[in-house]
Structure 1
């Protein structure tokens, strides 16, 4: 009946997997195989990475060594195939991630454009609604702050004055570029003092831009709060 069941399942042969008992395992480990040095057998037992799963097996002769080598080569080929498939999956995931990043950047760009358009519409709507209405206190304060910023930027001792001073110094040294004898252009070399002035001016300009951006952001928040309150 057992053979008939195996044939019905299209199985050619079935071998039961039976583990060794503790006494059999102890006897196997304590008695080295014939022709094998007990010292080597003891070393094999010590080098066993997992005594609960593996047993030291002696390799006698070139044929057994070759069979073990072929088995390891086959297993290495299978593992390499799995690694290649995993690498392909990783490349595919990275490609999809790059595509998603591009789509996300495009969505962010469109969102900024839409936000800018919405802000323009709000400004036009507010201007149309406030047409003929006197300027209130908050709007007057905003206008004064913007005029103060413009006057600071255009003051002779501030940024525009520094720009004009640098342009004058560069013109005194021959301009940004001068014509050479063969009709080409030659870049003028700035002195270390002038270069330091340029760096200092750029630093001031960066600080001024940051301050203006912070003030404008604060004013925009105030403007949005005014719109929501009305």
Structure 2
């Protein structure tokens, strides 16, 4: 066999070995590609699967307004499950849950619950800027009527870029909407005084209607 033929045979053998190795990575129940995990918070306990769990804070770092929890919950069981509470570790606070007509907190068998975003249910966490810091991965516990506690670590991110539509709504400032005596500010109309500012006041929480339209849960 000539040297050129030998080189061709060796090259063909090398290609065959490479293809076999790649095929082994991508096939079968133990394939390496199946070991790749998505870069988001997800877990499952029993019939409940929680995906894309995120804690979203006010975009203004100086704001003491509320944060929200966003997630998608799947019920793969044969019985309905009701979301009873959401707690973010370190805050000592339970999120205020709000259902909507199209998104109740009871998840039917084979159904899902979307928390956060326009028209979806919401979970509002009161002012906790000291305990909830952007960039953290904090433990969040979802409690369900049948399954009980389902915990995972969720990233804490500000309501910017992709998360703008899922973050907490801007809550009017109490000081801007009324005077110290409690009456509307002089020279302002009722509509003007109700507008307030875009910066939430300390301890303020969004109204049910605002949370139903823009907040995540």
TM-score when normalising by structure 1: 0.22
Normalized per residue, which structure has more helix?
A: 1
Q: Relative contact order (C-alpha < 8 Å, sep 6+): which is higher?
A: 2
Normalized per residue, which structure has more strand?
A: 2
TM-score when normalising by structure 2: 0.23
